[in-house]
Amino acid sequence: MKDFISMLDITKEELAELLETTAVIKEKQKRGEIFQPLKGKTVALIFEKPSTRTRVSFEVGVFQLGGHGVYMDTRGSQLGRGEPLKDTARVLSRYVDGIVIRTFGQERVVEIARYSKVPVINALTDEEHPCQVVADLFTIKEYLRKFKGLKVAYLGDGNNMCNSWLIGAAMTGINFYAATPEGYEPLAFYIEKAKEIAKTTDSEIVITHDPLEAVKDADIVYTDVWASMGQEEEAEERKELFMPYQVNMKLLKHAKPDVLFMHCLPAHRGEEVTDDVIESCRSIVWDQAENRLHAQKALLTKLIK
């Protein structure tokens, strides 16, 4: 694995190893053990989209690993004035030891990686959010100690989270049910790839428009915002369309009694999830958010030498 710009960049074996490294790194931090494999290293952090968890977890992660993060946004760099991505990639890779980028189109990350001589990590695009899925899988392993045979129900928009989750679930043997309104399904490319991978792990990949079918006997119920960044103008229209997919206590009664609730955050309480669900004992969103830090430290450790 040279770069991590898609869940498809990692093999099943590499994913398992990455999750093991995440556990080791988290335990080191809990013990207060100094672990600095990035000492003397510098990482460029390019953020063309707003961020809380992703930016802070990467900045803190680079620092805790002994490295130095250089934050860049479009207003404070030549990217905002139209410098070609390939020029930025060529120059940055002569200055830094790794590039983390959060941007719009997936093709922007692909181009950066094509011209960069150092590892590139996708910190979110409109098409994928692989770093989040690695942290999510680690969180599930912490709580349930396994993947094989678990049922994850994803409700809402078939967005970047859903695309990346399709691949992560198929790789680990998780049965993944995505319930979306018609016309808001995940991309066909990821559905097809997930179903191909699922043949090797006996995972079920199901796309449905029925939230009850997805949630029935689920071990985990997962949701995300209904309108992602760049879709703000559609927010009101989406609210009415997506309301049947809201995760509330009534819906959770169709899942297993010990179901866990996950959300990649930020949450729009009262829309995709009700306040009583996200604040309940079934919610593990805060551990999930913390694990972004540990999972990304594992990625940085694996990629940057």
Annotated binding residues for carbamoyl phosphate, written as ranges, equal: 51-54, 78, 102, 129-132, 264-265, 292
Which residue in the list 64, 132, 288, 296 is annotated as catalytic? 132
Helix (H), strand (E) at residue 168: helix 160-172
102 is catalytic: yes
**Catalytic one of 288, 292, 294, 296:** 292
Catalytic residue, from 9, 224, 294, 296: name it: 224
Q: Are 149 and 173 in contact (CB under 8 A)?
A: yes
Question: DSSP code of 185?
Answer: P
55, 97, 102, 238: the catalytic one is 102
Which one of 108, 129, 263, 282 is the catalytic residue? 129
* Beta-strand pair 175-179/260-263: unpaired
Residue positions forming the annotated binding site for L-ornithine: 160, 224, 228-229
Annotated binding site: 51-54, 78, 102, 129-132, 160, 224, 228-229, 264-265, 292
296 is catalytic: no
Residue 132: active-site member: yes
**Among candidate residues 21, 32, 10, the one with its CA nearest the CA of residue 141:** 21
Q: Is 64 a catalytic residue?
A: no
Main-chain dihedrals φ then ψ at residue 119, nearest 5 degrees: -60, 145
Mention every residue, 6+ apart, whose C-beta is less than 8 A from residue 273: 223, 246, 247, 248, 261, 263, 267
For the question of residue 292 being annotated catalytic, the response is yes
List active site positions. 102, 129, 132, 224, 264, 292
